[in-house]
Structure 1
């Protein structure tokens, strides 16, 4: 599941519209819609979105051979 899908789910859970999130991010509605369409977010943007949607964001790499999380 891509980040765009996860963000859309969170918006539904938080009863928010894309426009509402865009305003809080300082983006136009079209800009955020394009980012969602292309699933194109920086780590910084994802952290800000998590903050706005009152969520924790965790990005990790897990080594397949050892299971070690980095």
Structure 2
């Protein structure tokens, strides 16, 4: 699932438009949509999206032996 798809689902479940999310992030909807389409949303922005939408953003690797690298 792409970042764009994840954010669309989060917005849908949080009853907020992507444009409103962008405004709450302090960005123009046009700029934010361009970032989503290019796939250039930063980790810092993903954490902010989580805070705005009352969710937790987690990013980590899991090795084959089950070890988690955060």
| Structure 2 segments unaligned to the other structure (5+ residues) | none
Q: Which residue of 1 aligns with 2:12?
A: 12
CA distance in 1, matches of 2:3, 2:55: 14
> What is the CA-CA distance between 1:34 and the residue it aligns to?
0.6
| Structure 1 segments unaligned to the other structure (5+ residues) | none
Q: TM-score, normalised by structure 2?
A: 0.90
**The residue matched to 2:58 in structure 1 has which SS?**
coil
CA distance in 2, matches of 1:15, 1:56: 17
Higher RCO (CA 8 Å, separation ≥ 6 residues): 1
Q: TM-score, normalised by structure 1?
A: 0.90
* Equivalent residue pairs, number: 69
Matches of residues 1-70 of structure 1 in structure 2 within 5 Å? 1-64=1-64, 66-70=65-69
More strand by share: 2
